[in-house]
Structure 1
Protein backbone atom coordinates (compact mmCIF):
# COMPACT_ATOMS: atom_id res chain seq x y z
CA UNK A 1 0.00 0.00 0.00
CA UNK A 2 2.78 2.41 0.96
CA UNK A 3 4.65 1.51 -2.23
CA UNK A 4 1.54 2.28 -4.28
CA UNK A 5 1.11 5.65 -2.55
CA UNK A 6 4.76 6.54 -3.14
CA UNK A 7 4.39 5.59 -6.80
CA UNK A 8 1.29 7.76 -7.20
CA UNK A 9 3.00 10.68 -5.44
CA UNK A 10 6.08 10.39 -7.66
CA UNK A 11 3.90 10.27 -10.77
CA UNK A 12 1.99 13.37 -9.64
CA UNK A 13 5.22 15.29 -8.98
CA UNK A 14 6.64 14.24 -12.34
CA UNK A 15 3.43 15.28 -14.10
CA UNK A 16 3.56 18.66 -12.37
CA UNK A 17 7.17 19.11 -13.44
CA UNK A 18 6.27 18.45 -17.07
CA UNK A 19 3.35 20.89 -16.82
CA UNK A 20 5.62 23.64 -15.44
CA UNK A 21 8.16 22.91 -18.16
CA UNK A 22 5.48 23.21 -20.85
CA UNK A 23 4.22 26.48 -19.39
CA UNK A 24 7.73 27.99 -19.33
CA UNK A 25 8.72 26.84 -22.83
CA UNK A 26 9.73 29.70 -25.11
CA UNK A 27 10.71 30.36 -28.70
CA UNK A 28 12.45 33.25 -30.44
CA UNK A 29 10.73 36.05 -32.33
CA UNK A 30 12.94 38.14 -34.61
CA UNK A 31 11.60 41.53 -35.68
CA UNK A 32 13.47 42.41 -38.87
CA UNK A 33 12.91 45.90 -40.30
CA UNK A 34 14.13 46.77 -43.80
CA UNK A 35 15.74 50.06 -44.71
CA UNK A 36 13.21 52.76 -45.55
CA UNK A 37 12.32 52.91 -49.25
CA UNK A 38 10.54 55.71 -51.09
CA UNK A 39 8.61 55.75 -54.36
CA UNK A 40 8.79 59.56 -54.45
CA UNK A 41 11.89 61.79 -54.60
CA UNK A 42 12.95 63.23 -51.25
CA UNK A 43 15.39 66.02 -50.49
CA UNK A 44 18.68 65.01 -48.85
CA UNK A 45 17.68 66.77 -45.64
CA UNK A 46 14.36 64.94 -45.51
CA UNK A 47 16.03 61.62 -46.31
CA UNK A 48 18.41 62.03 -43.38
CA UNK A 49 15.56 63.00 -41.06
CA UNK A 50 13.28 60.12 -42.03
CA UNK A 51 15.86 57.35 -42.41
CA UNK A 52 17.04 57.72 -38.81
CA UNK A 53 13.60 56.59 -37.64
CA UNK A 54 12.24 53.13 -37.01
CA UNK A 55 9.18 51.00 -36.39
CA UNK A 56 7.46 51.13 -33.01
CA UNK A 57 5.87 47.89 -31.87
CA UNK A 58 4.83 46.10 -28.73
CA UNK A 59 3.35 42.98 -27.18
CA UNK A 60 0.06 42.89 -25.28
CA UNK A 61 -0.82 39.36 -24.19
CA UNK A 62 -0.94 37.34 -27.41
CA UNK A 63 -1.22 40.41 -29.63
CA UNK A 64 1.71 42.04 -31.44
CA UNK A 65 1.04 45.64 -32.43
CA UNK A 66 2.78 47.61 -35.18
CA UNK A 67 2.15 51.34 -34.90
CA UNK A 68 2.89 54.61 -36.66
CA UNK A 69 0.98 56.43 -33.91
CA UNK A 70 2.68 57.78 -30.79
CA UNK A 71 3.06 54.90 -28.33
CA UNK A 72 1.84 57.02 -25.41
CA UNK A 73 -1.68 56.30 -26.66
CA UNK A 74 -1.08 52.54 -26.51
CA UNK A 75 -0.88 50.06 -23.65
CA UNK A 76 1.84 47.41 -24.06
CA UNK A 77 3.23 44.76 -21.74
CA UNK A 78 6.54 45.28 -23.58
CA UNK A 79 7.32 48.10 -26.03
CA UNK A 80 10.16 48.38 -28.55
CA UNK A 81 11.53 50.53 -31.37
CA UNK A 82 13.48 48.77 -34.11
CA UNK A 83 15.33 51.19 -36.36
CA UNK A 84 15.20 50.93 -40.14
CA UNK A 85 17.71 48.35 -41.34
CA UNK A 86 18.02 46.60 -37.97
CA UNK A 87 16.57 43.58 -36.20
CA UNK A 88 15.51 42.76 -32.66
CA UNK A 89 15.17 39.31 -31.10
CA UNK A 90 13.30 38.34 -27.95
CA UNK A 91 12.02 35.24 -26.23
CA UNK A 92 8.25 34.73 -26.11
CA UNK A 93 6.09 32.01 -24.55
CA UNK A 94 4.99 29.40 -27.07
CA UNK A 95 1.61 30.03 -28.64
CA UNK A 96 -0.22 31.78 -31.46
CA UNK A 97 -0.01 35.57 -31.70
CA UNK A 98 -2.21 37.95 -33.68
CA UNK A 99 -0.83 41.03 -35.44
CA UNK A 100 -2.66 44.36 -35.15
CA UNK A 101 -1.66 47.63 -36.83
CA UNK A 102 -2.42 51.13 -35.53
CA UNK A 103 -2.07 53.74 -38.24
CA UNK A 104 -3.28 57.10 -39.45
CA UNK A 105 -3.86 58.89 -42.70
CA UNK A 106 -1.21 61.46 -43.76
CA UNK A 107 -3.13 64.53 -42.70
CA UNK A 108 -1.84 67.70 -41.11
CA UNK A 109 -3.50 69.32 -38.12
CA UNK A 110 -2.57 71.62 -35.27
CA UNK A 111 -4.70 69.47 -32.97
CA UNK A 112 -3.34 66.04 -32.07
CA UNK A 113 -6.72 65.06 -30.68
CA UNK A 114 -8.33 65.87 -34.03
CA UNK A 115 -5.82 63.59 -35.76
CA UNK A 116 -6.70 60.82 -33.33
CA UNK A 117 -10.43 61.33 -33.86
CA UNK A 118 -10.45 61.76 -37.64
CA UNK A 119 -7.32 60.19 -39.11
CA UNK A 120 -6.30 57.34 -36.78
CA UNK A 121 -7.56 53.78 -37.17
CA UNK A 122 -6.87 50.18 -36.13
CA UNK A 123 -6.48 47.12 -38.36
CA UNK A 124 -7.02 44.06 -36.18
CA UNK A 125 -5.90 40.50 -36.91
CA UNK A 126 -4.10 41.40 -40.15
CA UNK A 127 -1.92 38.29 -39.75
CA UNK A 128 -0.81 35.75 -37.17
CA UNK A 129 2.25 33.73 -36.30
CA UNK A 130 3.15 30.83 -34.04
CA UNK A 131 6.02 30.71 -31.57
CA UNK A 132 7.30 27.16 -31.11
CA UNK A 133 9.59 25.91 -28.37
CA UNK A 134 13.26 26.27 -29.27
CA UNK A 135 12.51 27.60 -32.76
CA UNK A 136 12.78 30.99 -34.48
CA UNK A 137 9.96 32.89 -36.15
CA UNK A 138 10.78 36.04 -38.13
CA UNK A 139 8.45 38.97 -38.70
CA UNK A 140 9.81 41.02 -41.60
CA UNK A 141 8.57 44.59 -41.97
CA UNK A 142 9.25 46.80 -44.99
CA UNK A 143 8.55 50.56 -44.55
CA UNK A 144 7.77 52.23 -47.89
CA UNK A 145 6.77 55.82 -48.65
CA UNK A 146 4.29 55.31 -51.47
CA UNK A 147 2.88 57.80 -53.96
CA UNK A 148 -0.37 58.15 -52.03
CA UNK A 149 1.61 58.77 -48.83
CA UNK A 150 3.07 61.90 -50.45
CA UNK A 151 -0.24 63.62 -51.24
CA UNK A 152 0.47 65.93 -48.33
CA UNK A 153 4.18 66.84 -48.73
CA UNK A 154 4.35 68.10 -45.14
CA UNK A 155 3.47 64.66 -43.73
CA UNK A 156 5.32 61.48 -44.67
CA UNK A 157 4.02 58.30 -43.04
CA UNK A 158 5.53 55.08 -44.41
CA UNK A 159 3.21 52.24 -45.29
CA UNK A 160 4.29 49.09 -43.45
CA UNK A 161 4.38 45.80 -45.34
CA UNK A 162 4.66 42.73 -43.09
CA UNK A 163 5.30 39.04 -43.65
CA UNK A 164 5.95 36.10 -41.34
CA UNK A 165 8.41 33.29 -41.96
CA UNK A 166 7.72 29.74 -40.81
CA UNK A 167 9.49 28.71 -37.58
CA UNK A 168 12.87 27.07 -38.03
CA UNK A 169 15.19 25.44 -35.54
CA UNK A 170 18.16 27.35 -36.96
CA UNK A 171 18.85 31.00 -37.61
CA UNK A 172 16.89 32.92 -40.23
CA UNK A 173 17.67 31.37 -43.62
CA UNK A 174 17.30 34.55 -45.66
CA UNK A 175 14.06 33.63 -47.43
CA UNK A 176 11.60 36.50 -47.81
CA UNK A 177 7.99 35.70 -46.87
CA UNK A 178 5.08 37.13 -48.81
CA UNK A 179 4.27 40.56 -47.40
CA UNK A 180 1.13 42.64 -47.39
CA UNK A 181 0.37 46.23 -46.48
CA UNK A 182 -0.99 46.27 -42.92
CA UNK A 183 -1.29 50.01 -42.23
CA UNK A 184 -3.66 51.03 -45.04
CA UNK A 185 -7.24 51.96 -44.25
CA UNK A 186 -10.01 49.80 -45.71
CA UNK A 187 -13.60 48.82 -44.93
CA UNK A 188 -12.47 46.50 -42.11
CA UNK A 189 -10.56 49.24 -40.26
CA UNK A 190 -11.88 50.54 -36.94
CA UNK A 191 -11.78 54.28 -36.30
CA UNK A 192 -9.75 55.14 -33.20
CA UNK A 193 -12.71 56.63 -31.25
CA UNK A 194 -14.67 53.40 -31.85
CA UNK A 195 -11.85 51.04 -30.89
CA UNK A 196 -12.29 49.42 -27.45
CA UNK A 197 -9.54 46.81 -27.62
CA UNK A 198 -6.86 46.02 -25.02
CA UNK A 199 -3.98 47.95 -26.61
CA UNK A 200 -5.67 51.35 -26.25
CA UNK A 201 -4.34 53.28 -23.27
CA UNK A 202 -7.15 54.81 -21.22
CA UNK A 203 -5.96 57.13 -18.41
CA UNK A 204 -7.43 56.40 -14.99
Structure 2
Protein backbone atom coordinates (compact mmCIF):
# COMPACT_ATOMS: atom_id res chain seq x y z
CA UNK A 1 0.00 0.00 0.00
CA UNK A 2 1.24 3.48 -0.78
CA UNK A 3 1.61 6.14 1.85
CA UNK A 4 -1.18 8.21 0.31
CA UNK A 5 -3.60 5.28 0.68
CA UNK A 6 -2.58 4.75 4.30
CA UNK A 7 -3.03 8.46 4.99
CA UNK A 8 -6.51 8.43 3.46
CA UNK A 9 -7.49 5.39 5.54
CA UNK A 10 -6.27 7.06 8.73
CA UNK A 11 -8.22 10.22 7.87
CA UNK A 12 -11.33 8.17 7.15
CA UNK A 13 -11.08 6.56 10.57
CA UNK A 14 -10.38 9.79 12.46
CA UNK A 15 -12.82 12.17 10.74
CA UNK A 16 -16.18 10.72 11.94
CA UNK A 17 -15.35 10.89 15.69
CA UNK A 18 -14.02 14.43 15.27
CA UNK A 19 -17.17 15.47 13.40
CA UNK A 20 -19.36 13.91 16.10
CA UNK A 21 -17.44 15.81 18.80
CA UNK A 22 -17.92 19.07 16.89
CA UNK A 23 -21.65 18.41 16.53
CA UNK A 24 -21.93 17.62 20.26
CA UNK A 25 -20.14 20.87 21.12
CA UNK A 26 -22.46 22.82 18.83
CA UNK A 27 -25.51 21.19 20.41
CA UNK A 28 -24.53 22.39 23.90
CA UNK A 29 -27.15 24.95 24.97
CA UNK A 30 -27.90 25.61 21.30
CA UNK A 31 -24.90 27.95 21.01
CA UNK A 32 -21.78 25.82 21.33
CA UNK A 33 -18.34 26.84 22.39
CA UNK A 34 -17.18 30.19 21.04
CA UNK A 35 -14.81 30.37 18.13
CA UNK A 36 -13.07 33.72 18.21
CA UNK A 37 -10.46 35.81 16.46
CA UNK A 38 -8.97 38.99 17.83
CA UNK A 39 -7.25 41.35 15.42
CA UNK A 40 -3.75 42.18 16.51
CA UNK A 41 -2.91 44.46 13.58
CA UNK A 42 -5.54 47.06 14.52
CA UNK A 43 -4.01 47.87 17.88
CA UNK A 44 -5.65 48.35 21.23
CA UNK A 45 -8.06 50.96 22.55
CA UNK A 46 -7.81 52.67 25.92
CA UNK A 47 -10.23 52.01 28.76
CA UNK A 48 -12.99 54.64 29.08
CA UNK A 49 -12.21 56.00 25.59
CA UNK A 50 -14.75 57.02 22.98
CA UNK A 51 -14.06 53.71 21.20
CA UNK A 52 -15.14 51.80 24.31
CA UNK A 53 -18.18 54.03 24.64
CA UNK A 54 -19.12 53.17 21.04
CA UNK A 55 -18.67 49.46 21.84
CA UNK A 56 -21.00 49.75 24.84
CA UNK A 57 -23.55 51.48 22.60
CA UNK A 58 -23.29 48.66 20.04
CA UNK A 59 -23.57 45.99 22.74
CA UNK A 60 -26.83 47.57 23.87
CA UNK A 61 -28.37 48.28 20.44
CA UNK A 62 -27.17 45.43 18.17
CA UNK A 63 -29.32 42.68 19.80
CA UNK A 64 -32.39 44.93 19.57
CA UNK A 65 -31.64 45.66 15.90
CA UNK A 66 -31.27 41.93 15.18
CA UNK A 67 -34.54 41.24 17.00
CA UNK A 68 -36.30 43.97 15.00
CA UNK A 69 -34.81 42.76 11.73
CA UNK A 70 -35.79 39.14 12.33
CA UNK A 71 -39.34 40.01 13.40
CA UNK A 72 -39.93 42.40 10.48
CA UNK A 73 -38.48 39.94 7.97
CA UNK A 74 -41.22 38.30 5.98
CA UNK A 75 -38.91 36.31 3.71
CA UNK A 76 -38.53 32.56 3.82
CA UNK A 77 -34.86 32.94 4.74
CA UNK A 78 -33.72 31.23 7.93
CA UNK A 79 -31.00 33.78 8.60
CA UNK A 80 -30.76 37.34 9.90
CA UNK A 81 -27.98 39.79 9.10
CA UNK A 82 -27.52 43.29 10.51
CA UNK A 83 -24.65 45.69 9.84
CA UNK A 84 -24.30 49.01 11.65
CA UNK A 85 -21.84 51.88 12.16
CA UNK A 86 -21.43 53.65 15.50
CA UNK A 87 -19.50 56.74 16.54
CA UNK A 88 -17.43 59.30 14.67
CA UNK A 89 -14.06 58.93 12.97
CA UNK A 90 -11.36 58.04 14.03
CA UNK A 91 -13.22 55.91 16.61
CA UNK A 92 -16.06 54.81 14.30
CA UNK A 93 -16.87 51.13 14.63
CA UNK A 94 -18.39 48.90 12.00
CA UNK A 95 -20.24 45.99 13.56
CA UNK A 96 -22.24 43.14 12.12
CA UNK A 97 -24.33 40.31 13.49
CA UNK A 98 -25.53 37.18 11.75
CA UNK A 99 -27.96 34.53 13.02
CA UNK A 100 -28.57 31.14 11.42
CA UNK A 101 -32.18 31.04 12.54
CA UNK A 102 -34.43 34.07 12.77
CA UNK A 103 -36.02 33.05 16.05
CA UNK A 104 -36.51 36.59 17.32
CA UNK A 105 -35.51 36.82 20.96
CA UNK A 106 -33.34 33.69 20.67
CA UNK A 107 -31.29 35.38 17.98
CA UNK A 108 -31.02 38.61 19.98
CA UNK A 109 -29.93 36.69 23.09
CA UNK A 110 -27.30 34.83 21.09
CA UNK A 111 -25.97 38.10 19.63
CA UNK A 112 -25.80 39.68 23.11
CA UNK A 113 -23.94 36.63 24.42
CA UNK A 114 -21.51 36.66 21.46
CA UNK A 115 -20.82 40.36 22.03
CA UNK A 116 -20.05 39.68 25.72
CA UNK A 117 -17.69 36.88 24.65
CA UNK A 118 -15.98 39.24 22.18
CA UNK A 119 -15.35 41.80 24.92
CA UNK A 120 -14.19 39.11 27.35
CA UNK A 121 -11.99 37.08 24.97
CA UNK A 122 -10.48 39.97 23.00
CA UNK A 123 -10.04 42.51 25.79
CA UNK A 124 -9.10 45.91 24.39
CA UNK A 125 -8.54 44.73 20.81
CA UNK A 126 -10.02 47.00 18.12
CA UNK A 127 -11.09 44.01 16.00
CA UNK A 128 -12.99 40.93 17.17
CA UNK A 129 -15.01 38.11 15.64
CA UNK A 130 -16.93 35.59 17.76
CA UNK A 131 -18.88 32.66 16.32
CA UNK A 132 -21.24 30.73 18.59
CA UNK A 133 -22.49 28.51 15.71
CA UNK A 134 -26.04 29.86 16.06
CA UNK A 135 -24.86 33.44 15.58
CA UNK A 136 -21.77 35.45 14.70
CA UNK A 137 -20.74 38.94 15.84
CA UNK A 138 -17.86 41.09 14.63
CA UNK A 139 -16.63 44.61 15.15
CA UNK A 140 -13.67 46.62 13.87
CA UNK A 141 -12.44 50.12 13.16
CA UNK A 142 -14.49 51.54 10.29
CA UNK A 143 -11.56 53.19 8.51
CA UNK A 144 -11.03 50.35 6.05
CA UNK A 145 -14.11 48.19 6.29
CA UNK A 146 -16.66 47.15 3.69
CA UNK A 147 -20.08 47.49 5.27
CA UNK A 148 -22.87 45.54 3.62
CA UNK A 149 -25.76 47.91 3.04
CA UNK A 150 -29.24 47.76 1.58
CA UNK A 151 -27.87 47.87 -2.00
CA UNK A 152 -26.01 44.59 -1.57
CA UNK A 153 -27.99 41.57 -2.67
CA UNK A 154 -29.01 39.08 0.00
CA UNK A 155 -27.19 36.32 -1.90
CA UNK A 156 -23.82 38.09 -1.50
CA UNK A 157 -24.57 38.76 2.15
CA UNK A 158 -25.08 35.04 2.77
CA UNK A 159 -21.99 34.06 0.76
CA UNK A 160 -19.75 36.65 2.43
CA UNK A 161 -20.90 35.98 5.97
CA UNK A 162 -21.95 32.34 6.09
CA UNK A 163 -19.81 30.41 3.58
CA UNK A 164 -16.55 32.36 3.55
CA UNK A 165 -14.84 30.50 6.44
CA UNK A 166 -15.72 27.15 4.88
CA UNK A 167 -14.43 28.25 1.45
CA UNK A 168 -11.12 29.32 2.99
CA UNK A 169 -10.81 26.03 4.88
CA UNK A 170 -11.34 23.99 1.69
CA UNK A 171 -8.82 26.12 -0.19
CA UNK A 172 -6.20 25.60 2.51
CA UNK A 173 -6.83 21.84 2.49
CA UNK A 174 -6.61 21.78 -1.33
CA UNK A 175 -3.31 23.68 -1.40
CA UNK A 176 -1.90 21.39 1.29
CA UNK A 177 -2.83 18.30 -0.76
CA UNK A 178 -1.29 19.71 -3.93
CA UNK A 179 1.94 20.46 -2.07
CA UNK A 180 1.93 16.99 -0.50
CA UNK A 181 1.43 15.30 -3.89
CA UNK A 182 4.11 17.49 -5.48
CA UNK A 183 6.62 16.58 -2.77
CA UNK A 184 5.78 12.87 -3.05
CA UNK A 185 6.22 12.94 -6.84
CA UNK A 186 9.48 14.88 -6.54
CA UNK A 187 10.84 12.39 -4.01
CA UNK A 188 9.79 9.38 -6.11
CA UNK A 189 11.31 10.92 -9.24
CA UNK A 190 14.55 11.59 -7.41
CA UNK A 191 14.76 7.96 -6.20
CA UNK A 192 13.96 6.66 -9.73
CA UNK A 193 16.77 8.79 -11.19
CA UNK A 194 19.15 7.50 -8.51
CA UNK A 195 18.21 3.89 -9.34
CA UNK A 196 18.62 4.54 -13.08
CA UNK A 197 22.12 5.92 -12.48
CA UNK A 198 23.09 2.73 -10.60
CA UNK A 199 22.11 0.41 -13.46
CA UNK A 200 25.06 -0.93 -15.54
TM-score band by shorter chain is under 0.3
- Normalising by structure 2, we get a TM-score of 0.27
Structure holding more helix per residue: 2
Structure holding more strand per residue: 1
- Normalising by structure 1, we get a TM-score of 0.27
